[in-house]
Structure 1
Amino acid sequence: MSQITTHILDTARGCPAAGVPLALFHRQDSDWVEIASGTTNEDGRVAGLLDGDRVLPAGTYRMHFATGGYFSALDLNIFYPYVDVVFNLDDGGEHYHIPLLLSPFGYSTYRGS
């Protein structure tokens, strides 16, 4: 399993958010370096975001969810054209799940398992 996984749920519609592009970045010095990307499937997940045996170094990471196209496809107003979730990884190599609960005018996230 990928060390970092994600799941987007559209809480306004009560279903997974399919077709949302996302990218994972690592903060290196003063730059954000993209290390992975994908698009959510029908279950709102990106299968294999990282290779299963890849262990990321400790540091600061950012998950960029490009939500604007998702809302446009539903013919909804775009209030949040994207959502960036910034988080820290320790050096233990453990699994991190970054879910996004999304609606047209709000979002929330937490560290899942």
Structure 2
Amino acid sequence: MQAIGNSTVVSGILIPLNEETKSEVTIKGNLFQAVGSSMALPDLLNANKISMNTLYEIYGALLQVIGNALQGLSGIMELQGKQGENIDFTGSWIQTVGAFIQAWVQSNNP
């Protein structure tokens, strides 16, 4: 699901579309990414023993959900003529931090 969202965002950038359609595709892609990140949470939360690595994975997934949701929200706001750049910027960084945390945990797991 996360990969579908990522691909959707990239296609919105690469395919020649009008600005409103590009925004709509990007919004949907960001929301797909948020759903994809949230799909990992039930497995992480159902672990018999929650280790520090599991906690980091939970935090990373939550940050990605929050970041991608903020990016989607900012796109919706911009389509409505409101300022959403700061929310998009913040969401991008939150999502990036979450991705780095999860990548770090994966690289430290044997």
When the two structures are superposed, what TM-score results if normalisation uses the length of structure 2?
0.28
Work out which structure has the larger RCO, using CA pairs closer than 8 Å and 6 or more positions apart in sequence: 1
Larger radius of gyration between Structure 1 and Structure 2: 2
Which protein is richer in strand relative to its size? Answer: 1
When the two structures are superposed, what TM-score results if normalisation uses the length of structure 1?
0.27
Which protein is richer in helix relative to its size? Answer: 2
